[in-house]
Structures are given as C-alpha cells and as structure tokens.
C-alpha cells in the first residue's frame, strides 16, 4: 500500500499519513518505530522534548527502507528558542537521529524568542540541512504575524485537530497562506469518549471500518496530514487502512456537527485586550499540558482584517528557497 503524498509550498512531497512517537518511552521506541516502518509508515514525527530521538535514529538505521524514502520530522522546544539555541538544538537532534539532514524541522510552540528561532530555521533551510520548515501550535494571530514578517513562510503548521475541535477557520487561513495543516492528536488522545462517539460508531459500521479509521479519513479528505500513534502493530496497520473508502456528504455533515468549538467567548466578541489575554491564557494552559475544555477560538476578526491588507500589500516574501 502506498500512502498518498501532499506537495508543500516549496515543492517537497510529504506523506499524508505518518506515525507520531509522543509519549513512547526511549526503551520501547526503537522497536515501535521499526514496527511502524515495517507496517508501511514513511513519515516519522518526533521532537527533542519527547526524549526518544536516539531510539528513532536507531530504528531508521536498522530498517531496510532507503533514507530517501523516509520523511523525518523533529522539533525545537521552548527552552531551545532563540537563534543560537535553535541552531544548537538542531545539531543535537541531527546527531541523536544519526542523520545528515532533516525533512521537516518545526518550532514546537510560540513562546520565547521564536522569531530568532525562525531565522535559524530559514538559514538551515537555505543551507540545505532541512528540506522544509514550519511551526506547531501557532494560533491564527501568531501564524499570520509570522507569515507577514518572515523571509520564508512556514510550510507546515502542526495543530491539534479532531472531530470535537475542528478549527475550520484556521484551516481556511492556512490554505490562504499556503501553509499545510497537520493534525496531532487526531483521536483527542482517546479522551472524552472519542472512540465511543455514537455518530462515529454508526458511520464506521456503515463503511465496515472503525471509528479511528473514520476520524483519519475525515481529516485526510480535507487535505490534512495526520500522525496517529499506537504501540500495537495491529492498530498501526488498522490506522493505515483508510485509503480504500470515502465518506459521503451525509457522513461529513454529521461529523461536522460534532464540533464543540463554538463558544460565547469567541474572540470575535472580545475586545482586543480580552482577546489577547484569552489567547495567552489558552496557549499557556495548552502548552503546559493542561487539557482545554470545550471552548476554543474562532478566527479573530483582527486577523481577518490584517489578512485582507496583507493580500494586497505584502512584499515578495518567499515561501520557497529561491
């Protein structure tokens, strides 16, 4: 089975489904990644903060798949922000992985001197040490601000996305900016009864699939790259078996209705000061590992206004290494 590829804004081809290794302990990770690659995964997503890059590297070195067929992603964490710190972090990650280049390098969270970090990523990209660069967990205001001011725009924004947190406005913004969305936690980490959601169970029964497969298919049909995780080989294989069916319009409508992101505290209804405070609080809670409640944020009105101006006045900001 061949996983479809998505072309990033700079022409790099990225698998639309990959394998994430968040919270897989170092002592187990090597064998788990070997199993994932043997099952057919070619995109492997790790991070310096996961503390398992070395295990991922050993699995890559011991597998029979040529390096050029693999797509390896890692990330710089909060304490690695700033130009010099990110350069050092990149070199540490590359050494731990045992590689001479990365396919995708991401800023893990928008805190600290992430503009200094972004300049480091631009220089690493120009030097050919990484094939694509991007960000994680950037809310619309921060993504738009970076795109308006960076020399090279991000090629990927990796965000939490699942049927209870669909972020349609943010996906629309990414499409406008030429930024590829990628979903971490497509199953909401198994919380809030996601696998027992009656609508998903019914749709799964209709197609002879599992709720997990329905969730992944729903994401990829909207052009989102997914990185499910499991330490069980049978579930790895199950998560890959999503390319032989399609959801119909009724399925999509029913899944859309599961979105729990509408909330009276939407940024649209807030003053600029309140919106900024709420975004900051949400970001801090989320990035500290605290689960959000059903509230979240729609695309801010101020970002919509800025985007309209940017589309008519933006300089020739590069999205490729020209």
Helices and strands in the chain: count of H runs, count of E runs: 12, 10
Q: With helix as H, strand as E and coil as C, how does 230-279 read? A: CCCHHHHHHHHCCCCCCCCHHHHHHHHCCCCCCCCCCHHHCCHHHHHHHH
Contact (Cβ atoms closer than 8 angstroms) between residue 110 and residue 319: no
Instruction: Give the residue among 234, 23, 238, 10 at the shortest CA–CA distance from 131.
Output: 10
- How many CB atoms neighbour CB 98 within 10 A? 13
Residue with tokens 């497969």: 213
DSSP assignment, residue 183?
E
SS3 for 92? helix
Instruction: Give the residue among 249, 300, 260, 250 at the shortest CA–CA distance from 278.
Output: 300
Q: Write down the catalytic residue from 41, 50, 114, 125.
A: 50
Q: Tell which phi-psi region holds residue 189, choosing left (phi > 0), alpha (psi between -120 and 50) or beta.
A: left
Q: Which residues contact residue 307 at a Cβ distance below 8 angstroms, ignoring those fewer than 6 apart?
A: 144, 173, 176
SS3 for 285? helix
Q: In whole angstroms, what is the distance from residue 93 CA to residue 205 CA?
A: 43
50 is catalytic: yes
Task: Give catalytic residues, as residue numbers.
Answer: 50
């Amino acid at each position: 089975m061949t996983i479809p590829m998505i072309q990033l804004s700079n022409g790099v081809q990225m698998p639309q489904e990959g394998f994430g290794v968040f919270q897989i302990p170092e002592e187990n990770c090597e064998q788990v990644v070997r199993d994932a690659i043997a099952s057919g995964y070619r995109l492997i997503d790790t991070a310096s903060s996961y503390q398992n890059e070395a295990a991922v590297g050993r699995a890559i070195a011991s597998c029979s798949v040529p390096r050029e067929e693999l797509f390896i992603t890692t990330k710089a964490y909060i304490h690695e922000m700033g130009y010099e710190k990110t350069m050092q972090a990149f070199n540490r990650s590359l050494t731990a992985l045992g590689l001479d280049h990365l396919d995708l390098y991401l800023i893990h969270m928008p805190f600290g001197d992430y503009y200094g970090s972004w300049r480091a990523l631009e220089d690493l990209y120009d030097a050919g040490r990484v094939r694509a660069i991007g960000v994680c967990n950037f809310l619309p205001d921060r993504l738009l601000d970076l795109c308006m001011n960076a020399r090279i725009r991000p090629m990927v924004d990796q965000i939490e996305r699942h049927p209870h947190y669909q972020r349609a406005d943010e996906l629309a913004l990414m499409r406008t900016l030429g930024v590829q969305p990628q979903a971490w936690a497509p199953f909401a980490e198994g919380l809030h009864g996601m696998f027992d959601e009656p609508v998903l169970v019914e749709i799964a029964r209709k197609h002879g699939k599992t709720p997990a497969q329905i969730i992944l298919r729903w994401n990829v049909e909207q052009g989102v790259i997914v990185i499910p995780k499991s330490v069980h080989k049978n579930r790895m294989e199950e998560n890959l078996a999503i390319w032989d069916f399609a959801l119909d319009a009724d399925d999509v409508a029913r899944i859309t209705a599961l979105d729990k992101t509408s909330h009276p505290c939407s940024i649209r209804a807030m003053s600029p000061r309140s919106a900024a405070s709420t975004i900051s609080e949400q970001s801090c809670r989320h990035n500290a590992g605290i689960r959000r409640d059903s509230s979240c944020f729609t695309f801010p009105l101020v970002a919509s206004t800025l985007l309209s101006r940017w589309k008519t006045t933006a300089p020739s900001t590069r999205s490729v290494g020209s």
